[in-house]
Structure 1
Amino acid sequence: MSDFHSAPPEYDDEEAGVIEIPYQGLSKDALAGIVQEFASRDGTDYGEFECSLADKISQIEGQLKTGHLTLLFDPVSQSCQIVNSRDWKSNT
């Protein structure tokens, strides 16, 4: 008899894998939410000068469009991350 209340199966990183998501495939609202959440994180460094949240969002959107940043989805943690494309490609 199966237990319908059991926890979902556990996956390791190699089995599940992080997925690169083309930002163009997201709705405008979904992308805006991900970018805003990323831009508002504590510890996000934008150099010597402070930037407004709107400026940070604009910079991130621009870097996604130019390919300098990559949007990733982790199915294990059900979370998104924005990373430096060069770093991501060197690890894949």
Structure 2
Amino acid sequence: MIIPFKELPIETLNNLIESFILREGTDYGEDDFSLNDKISHIKTQLNQGDVVIVYSELHESINIMPKATFQQNQNEFE
């Protein structure tokens, strides 16, 4: 199930994104970005619809993933 990120309180959204960044160890190449820069980057992707916040009842977890990946594997997240 997709969680509408615009309905989340800003603090909750920021914490969720920060947790995702720290958990995933996202790689931004040779450049070094601050945590705030990375949060901003994820928010941009959310606003553009490139990534979505997904809740999985099966795994009882929340994750951020590319929208195309969610659509291909939607049955795993219901």
Q: Same fold (TM over 0.5)?
A: yes
| Alpha-carbon separation, structure 2, partners of 1:34 and 1:64 | 13
**What percent identity do the matched residue pairs reach?**
34
Q: Distance in 2 between matches of 1:53 and 1:37?
A: 11
Task: Name the SS for the 1:41 alignment partner.
Answer: helix
Q: Note the 1:25-44 alignment, pairs <5 A.
A: 25-44=7-26
Structure number, greater radius of gyration: 1
Moved over 3 A (4+): none
> Shift of the alpha carbon at 1:22?
1.1
Task: State the one-letter code of the partner of 1:35.
Answer: I
* TM-score normalised over the length of structure 2: 0.79
Counterpart of 1:28, as a letter, is I
Aligned counterpart, 2:39: 57
Matched residues in 1 for 2:73 and 2:24: separation?
25
Distance in 2 between the 1:27 and 1:42 partners?
Answer: 22
Deviation at 1:69, TM superposition (A): 0.6
Alignment of 1:80 with 2:62, yes or no, is yes
What is the aligned partner in structure 2 of residue 7 from structure 1? none
TM-score (norm 1): 0.69
Runs of 5+ unmatched residues, structure 1: 1-18
Matched residue SS, 2:27: coil
Query: Shift of the alpha carbon at 1:90?
Result: 2.5
More helix by share: 2
Instruction: Provide the alpha-carbon RMSD of the alignment.
Output: 1.6
Tell me the secondary structure at the aligned position of residue 23 of structure 2.
coil
SS at match of 2:64: strand
Structure 2 residue runs of 5 or longer lacking an equivalent are: none
